Amino acid sequence: DVKVTQSSRYLVKRTGEKVFLECVQDMDHENMFWYRQDPGLGLRLIYFSYDVKMKEKGDIPEGYSVSREKKERFSLILESASTNQTSMYLCASSLGQAPDTQYFGPGTRLTVL
Amino acid sequence: DQQVKQNSPSLSVQEGRISILNCDYTNSMFDYFLWYKKYPAEGPTFLISISSIKDKNEDGRFTVFLNKSAKHLSLHIVPSQPGDSAVYFCAAWGGSYQLIWGAGTKLIIKP
């Protein structure tokens, strides 16, 4: 079974803090993704990576950056957290072969005060 | 513009009856569709998928139907059970890295 783990289930941070969200997958998947989920808006893609050190912007990259130094690990960074970044953050990975099914971690509920 | 639409934000169904969740898409280049199920405070889990070369795929209580001419797919759950209460997301794949997601439908199964 594919396992995708995220470093924290719940996180509370203050406005202006730098926040790191870590994601690890154990299935040697090529692709990794960061989404945020907000009620009524579905899943919105922040960034994705199709290889080590490679990254592509998704639909809402503003205020975020990512890092993929190792194949199994994909980090999401909030450079200066703001209250509108309070959300559920979901990491996913996929094999990178057509058709492509994504497998998700449990999510991190981030609250920015 | 949303390429994948789930027009019903919520759906309430009696336990034991059929649940039908709908999804519409606009891009005829999509050739693979997926349904995911999400419980609160958990990540989405893959449920069932269908290729555009098929019009039906069945897995136990779950069946997905695809109508390419109408650009419409539906997920049928029969019989509905309390554990099926969750948010269901429809997603489409068109050959790139990304899945295109609908906004989700919250399914409530009433006892």
A34 touches chain B (CB under 8 A): no
Contact A99 B97 (CB under 8 A): no
Interchain pair B46, A56: CB under 8 A: no
Give 10-residue mean pLDDT values along chain B (111 residues).
Answer: 89 98 94 93 92 95 97 97 97 83 95 91
Residue of chain A nearest B51, judged by CA positions: A99
Tokens of B66: 């695809």
Sign of CA dihedral A28, A29, A30, A36: negative
A84: pLDDT strictly greater than 90: yes
Predicted local distance difference test score (pLDDT) of residue B19: 98
User: Which residues in chain B are closer than 8 Å to A91, comparing Cβ atoms?
Assistant: 43
The domains of chain B are located at 4-110
* Domains of chain A with bracketed CATH: 4-98 (2.60.40.10)
For A10-22, write each residue's pLDDT tens digit: 999 999 999 999 9
Q: Is the pLDDT of residue A1 over 70?
A: no
pLDDT confidence of A98, banded at 50, 70, 90?
A: low
Q: What span, in angstroms and rounded, lies between the C-alpha atoms of A62 and A75?
A: 15
Q: How far from the centroid of its chain's Cα atoms is residue B56's Cα?
A: 13
What pLDDT score does A54 carry?
93
Phi, psi of A83 (to 5 degrees): -60, -30
CA distance A9 to A105: 10
Q: What is the mean pLDDT of chain A?
A: 93
Across residues A48-59, what is the average pLDDT?
93
pLDDT of A102 over the 80 cut: yes
Fold held by B4-110: Immunoglobulin-like (2.60.40)
User: How many other CB atoms are there within 10 angstroms of residue B24's CB atom?
Assistant: 18
